[in-house]
Structure 1
Amino acid sequence: SREMRLHLQRAYPLAVVATISPLLGLFGTVYGMIGAFESVALAGEMGDPSIMAADIAYALITTAIGLVIAVPALSAYHFFRIRTNMLALGLEGQLSHVISRWFGPNAVVPSGAPENSSLKGE
């Protein structure tokens, strides 16, 4: 359990990056749109699309960058999380097998164990 938590803690930075990067992209989008509307307000007219084009491009680029960072980071986080869970399940199965061999109805005493050991399932 402790080993599993250690492996999951190593993957947490990926989860943080995957969570924060779309939010930063969204912040860039909002900032770009504010700039676009400021440009229109300063120009005083809406007829020329080039007034807003640079700010809208900035908004879309920041959104795209946020997603380009978030998608691989989230994928990697879930990959490592699933892998850690699979390792934990495998360990649990092996431990269960060892316990049933040592303490089950047909217990096998490991070599080197004392003869009066309680490992015989008495």
Structure 2
Amino acid sequence: KTSTAPLCSVSLLHKLPEEKLSKIVDCLEVDYFEKGEYIIREGEEGNTFFIISKGEVIVTQRTEGFAEPQKIKTLGVGDYFGEKALISEDVRSANIICNENNTQCLVVDRENFNQMV
């Protein structure tokens, strides 16, 4: 069973009481990604939130003056992305590309999240 510790680092969640965090943990799913695979594409609608539990991803974004999306940063274990999807129906603001084979993420979608909180 996953502990609530990975959720405590998420600014959106750290004020939630332990029992609500436990409920969110119960509905987390584990997804695996391979190097080069797009986990999120900029401009697409999204309803899922990810916490990296193993591996690494690259964040890229379209930037004025460049033909190709530019690398913004690298995220690793304990980092998270897609949190805006839990509270609104905004489109994704960046690409998230897997940078290591067998990268593992804990995933929750908006529907399950809203039922828990």
Same fold flag (TM > 0.5): no
Please indicate the TM-score interval, normalised by the length of the shorter structure: under 0.3
Q: TM-score, normalised by structure 2?
A: 0.20
**Which one has a larger percent strand, Structure 1 or Structure 2?**
2
**Higher normalized contact order (CA 8 Å, seq sep 6+, divided by chain length):** 2
Q: TM-score, normalised by structure 1?
A: 0.19
